[in-house]
Amino acid sequence: MKARLPLTVRYAETDAMGVVHHSSYVVWLEAARVEWLNQIGLPYTQIEAQGLAFAVVEIGLVYRSPARFGDVVEVETWLSEATSRTLQYRYRVWKGQTLLAEGFTRHLCQDARGKAVRIPPTLAKTLLTHVNPQS
């Protein structure tokens, strides 16, 4: 399953060149992941209530075209891979039909102490039903 999160570029997200600063995309990816989880019926607060967190351990982004203040963009996201301890999400950021950026994040399942742990079976089952490896 893929989810799309529409966002309007805020002035604070732009840089001195008048385009969205590269760091803003990281925030957008997080918002899209949280929305994706909401859409599959698994709010992140529910994961945290189990004493778990999915820490970002790797991120990659390729920027294709700039966005500017006031633009409406959409962040498309999907779960592309799941292992016993990790998840990988893929993303595309669109402005209409124009691809602005694409990338991925990899997450490690951790307990409340920050120790790597296996994803619990019931949580893994829910996540695995939504894996979409297509690019």
Residues that are catalytic: 15
In the DSSP assignment, the letter for residue 37 is: H
Lookup: tokens for 2? 């893929």
From residue 16, give the alpha-carbon distance in Å to each of 27, 61, 90: 19, 21, 29
Taking the CA atoms of residue 62, residue 65, residue 71 and residue 74 in that order, the dihedral angle to the nearest 10 degrees is -40
Lookup: tokens for 123? 């949580």
Lookup: tokens for 111? 């307990």
112 bridge partner residues: none
- Cα–chain center distance at 16: 26
